[in-house]
Amino acid sequence: MNPRAPRLTWPDPDRKVRDGGIWFVASSGQLRAPWRLSVYMAALVAATLMANAFVYPLLSLATSWMTTPPALYSWVMLIAVWAATVVALRQVDDRPWSDVALHGDAWRPGLLVRGSALGAATIVAVLLLLLTTGGAQLVWLQDNSGLAQWSAVGLRALLLLAPHALWEELIFRGYLWRVAEDAGGKHVALIATSVAFGAVHITNPGANVQSLSIVVLAGVCLGLVRLVTNSVPAAWLAHLAWNLIMAGVAHAAVSGLPFEAVGWRLDSVGPAWWSGGGWGPEGGVASLLVLTAALSAYAVYARSSRQQAQELRQPHASVRATPTNIRSQSATTATSGSE
């Protein structure tokens, strides 16, 4: 089945050049990348204003009964980003959800489990490295908390971090990835979206060159999850598992933002360049080493997979017809004939 043509097409090349449309429309008939991004950003701004005006009051009312209601910013942003994606992808580009890796197969349980496991394993490795090298320590709090309090803190962290991670992935590994890949290919998409992902954290408390560089590297890892699985939900759960273990389990800061702690908390005690300091465990060289090791393991795996694929595509080598082979075959033929 041929993919649907985008809504904004320009079928007459002569008219396109005459009217200056070549500056706006690519050879595919689709808006060029800067204009697609402009439409997306305009839709995002409009959707954010509307969500703040109409959705936020409703969410506030719905959560007013809670003793400690969750922060609603993440939910408002999720609704706004989803609306902007619908407008840009479905109404302007007129493309299917598979273009932003949100199609049905992207939600397969196996992919979601793999994404969660990758995110969890990576941040657990960072925490273990910090604990074993003296870069962090667990501090036990004398607050008489129990399972109910621990669960409540974890749930509040989940209600904040799940929508936050999802709207970030919808932007950076979703629509922006698609525009960048259409313009320059998957490698451009990987680098451009990772740099943009790091840039949006520049206003977080304690942001510096080191912490932002590590966020960019984390963006590369999330981009590879999206690339390998063709699933934004898998990248979302990898992102969520990383953040949730820091905030809801270790009770440490996440990207410079502190979270409430009951029972215990993870404190940075080593030098900030190693432990991440106030930015949290993900901001130090320990995190840099673990992420680099993860990327190196992926590079080895990808190279091995490519070599295996090439070997499978190559035809079996045929036996070369040497004079010895020819004489042997002739003798065999003659013998068979005499029998």
Tell me which of 37, 64, 95 is where a domain ends: 95
Are residues 265 and 196 located together in one domain of the fold?
Answer: yes
Within a domain: 75: yes
H helix or E strand, kind and range, residue 268: strand 264-268
pLDDT reported for residue 318 = 46
Q: What is the per-residue pLDDT across 141-150, written as a single tens digit (0 to 9) for each?
A: 988 888 889 9
pLDDT reported for residue 25 = 78
Mean of the pLDDT values across residues 222-244? 97
Are residues 103 and 133 located together in one domain of the fold?
Answer: yes
Within a domain: 330: no
Within a domain: 88: yes
Tell me which of 61, 95, 129 is where a domain ends: 95
Are residues 169 and 219 located together in one domain of the fold?
Answer: yes
Q: What CA–CA distance (Å, rounded) separates 9 from 29?
A: 4
Within a domain: 170: yes
Q: What is the per-residue pLDDT across 13-24, written as a single tens digit (0 to 9) for each?
A: 444 444 446 677
pLDDT reported for residue 319 = 46
Within a domain: 304: yes
Q: What is the per-residue pLDDT across 79-98, written as a single tens digit (0 to 9) for each?
A: 999 999 999 999 999 999 99
Give percent above pLDDT 70 in the chain: 86
CA contacts within 13 A on the Cβ side of 31: 19
Are residues 154 and 293 located together in one domain of the fold?
Answer: yes
Q: What is the pTM of this model?
A: 0.85
Are residues 47 and 115 located together in one domain of the fold?
Answer: no
Reported confidence tier of residue 7, pLDDT bands at 50, 70, 90: low
Token readout for 163 is 């929508």
Q: What total number of domains does the chain contain?
A: 2
Are residues 148 and 83 located together in one domain of the fold?
Answer: no
Query: Which domain range does residue 162 map to?
Result: 98-311
Are residues 137 and 236 located together in one domain of the fold?
Answer: yes
Amino acid in position 301 = Y
Tell me which of 66, 95, 124 is where a domain ends: 95
Are residues 207 and 306 located together in one domain of the fold?
Answer: yes
Higher-confidence residue of 25 and 84: namely 84
Mean of the per-residue pLDDT values for the chain? 88
Mean of the pLDDT values across residues 2-6? 50
Are residues 84 and 136 located together in one domain of the fold?
Answer: no
Within a domain: 318: no
Are residues 115 and 199 located together in one domain of the fold?
Answer: yes
Are residues 169 and 282 located together in one domain of the fold?
Answer: yes
Higher-confidence residue of 23 and 275: namely 275
Asked if 102 contacts 190 with a C-beta cutoff of 8 angstroms, the reply is no
Are residues 170 and 54 located together in one domain of the fold?
Answer: no
Reported confidence tier of residue 337, pLDDT bands at 50, 70, 90: very low
Within a domain: 227: yes
Within a domain: 52: yes
Q: Which residues pair with 137 in a beta bridge?
A: 267
Q: What CA–CA distance (Å, rounded) separates 163 from 76?
A: 9
C-alpha pair distances (Å), 224 with each of 108, 177, 231, 272: 18, 12, 10, 28
